[in-house]
Amino acid sequence: EDKVVQSPLSLVVHEGDTVTLNCSYEVTNFRSLLWYKQEKKAPTFLFMLTSSGIEKKSGRLSSILDKKELFSILNITATQTGDSAVYLCAVRYGGSQGNLIFGKGTKLSVKP
């Protein structure tokens, strides 16, 4: 069965800490892996990864994919309270061009 597993499910840190969120997957005909940030509204797109070993970076956020070990990590450095959200990992796979499989998300809480 195709699946995406995120860990940890929740995480509490203090401002300034660095966090690493994990996403592992088992899918047929992997195409790409996407990260989203979800506050109390629409998930917003962060990164899309298709190739192993190439780090994507946006400000304090970065992500990398390992297609051999079937996982990705999302790093957030110097966390701020505004980073508090649920971070969703999703995988696009072969069979349907439009279908994404989502993990359950990691709920990150950043305390001042």
Partner 1 sequence: NAGVMQNPRHLVRRRGQEARLRCSPMKGHSHVYWYRQLPEEGLKFMVYLQKENIIDESGMPKERFSAEFPKEGPSILRIQQVVRGDSAAYFCASSPQPGAPYGYTFGSGTRLTVV
d(CA 17, CA 30): 32
d(CA 112, CA 104): 26
d(CA 68, CA 62): 19
Q: Of the two residues 47 and 110, which places its CB atom closer to partner 1 in the complex? A: 47
Q: Of the two residues 37 and 76, which places its CB atom closer to partner 1 in the complex? A: 37
100 near partner 1, judged by CB under 8 A: yes
Question: How far does the chain reach from its first CA to its final CA, in angstroms?
Answer: 41
Of residues 35-64, which lie at the interface with partner 1 (CB under 8 A)?
36, 41-45, 48
Give the footprint of partner 1 on this chain (CB under 8 A).
4, 31-32, 34, 36, 41-45, 48, 88, 90, 92, 96-105
